């Protein structure tokens, strides 16, 4: 029995990304036909810039968080019959030239989640961020009982049929960790591909104290 053909869209959760979102969309469309931008109630021209660059856009009417945006996106992809979504940040940190690595990895029908691994080429990653990410990745790998070299990387490919995507309760940055854990617990195959991250001096949107509290609450909950 032949495997159904892949239908892949790029998913870009975005908040206040008017400066770079158009370039992100244009670069991604070199490799796939569909880019879906979830504008999480940005007070700027994020939606307009994304539409002008050729993206499909869904705009939240209130700010809900990155995780909520990803759930909105994958629910829409399921409605439209897509098999996979590749998630990229809207600030240009993810190199679109590496989309083919994800496309190749998801050709294996047993793989339900492909995580980017920035530690294969950590040049430019701030030292403190590198140490924190390495520690969290070690812990998440232990919980998942499979190697996940970079559990905090948002550059990923996910099978739309993976139930963890919509079952995860988190709505913010802890969402991506919850999806990893739920996927592993359900027996889904997780693999990684090497990626590089383009640091341009933009501040991280992660708030260390607030998001650390959410992370530990997640670990206690699940």
CATH domain 8-221 topology: Spore Coat Polysaccharide Biosynthesis Protein SpsA; Chain A (3.90.550)
Residue segments in the chain with a per-residue pLDDT below the cut of 70: 1-2, 122-124, 200-212, 215-216, 218-220
What's residue 199's pLDDT? Answer: 75
Would you state the structure tokens that stand for residue 198, as one six-digit string? 């383009």
The structure's pTM equals: 0.91
187-215 residue pLDDT tens: 999 999 999 888 765 555 555 556 567 76
C-alpha–C-alpha distance, residues 122 and 196, integer Å: 7
Residue 198: per-residue pLDDT: 84
Please give the span between the terminal C-alpha atoms of the chain, in angstroms, as a whole number. Answer: 37
In three-state secondary structure terms, 34 is: strand
| Calpha distance 40→15 (Å, rounded) | 5
């Amino acid at each position: 029995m032949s495997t159904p053909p892949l239908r892949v869209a790029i998913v870009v959760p975005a908040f206040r990304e008017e400066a770079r979102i158009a370039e992100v969309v244009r670069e991604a469309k070199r490799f796939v036909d569909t880019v879906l931008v979830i504008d999480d109630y940005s007070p700027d021209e994020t939606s307009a810039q994304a539409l002008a660059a050729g993206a499909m856009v869904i705009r939240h009417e209130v700010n809900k968080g990155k995780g909520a945006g990803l759930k909105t996106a994958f629910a829409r992809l399921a409605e439209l019959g897509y098999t996979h979504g590749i998630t990229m940040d809207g600030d240009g940190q993810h190199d679109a030239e590496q989309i083919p690595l994800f496309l190749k990895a998801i050709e294996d029908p047993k793989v339900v989640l492909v995580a980017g691994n920035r530690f294969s080429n950590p040049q430019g990653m701030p030292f403190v961020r590198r140490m924190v990410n390495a520690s969290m990745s070690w812990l998440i790998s232990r919980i998942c009982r499979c190697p996940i070299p970079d559990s905090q990387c948002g550059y990923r490919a996910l099978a739309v049929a993976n139930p963890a995507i919509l079952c995860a309760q988190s709505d913010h940055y802890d969402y991506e960790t919850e999806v990893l854990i739920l996927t592993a617990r359900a027996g889904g195959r997780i693999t990684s591909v090497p990626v590089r991250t383009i640091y341009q001096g933009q501040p991280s949107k992660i708030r260390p104290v607030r998001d650390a509290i959410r992370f530990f609450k997640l670990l206690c909950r699940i």
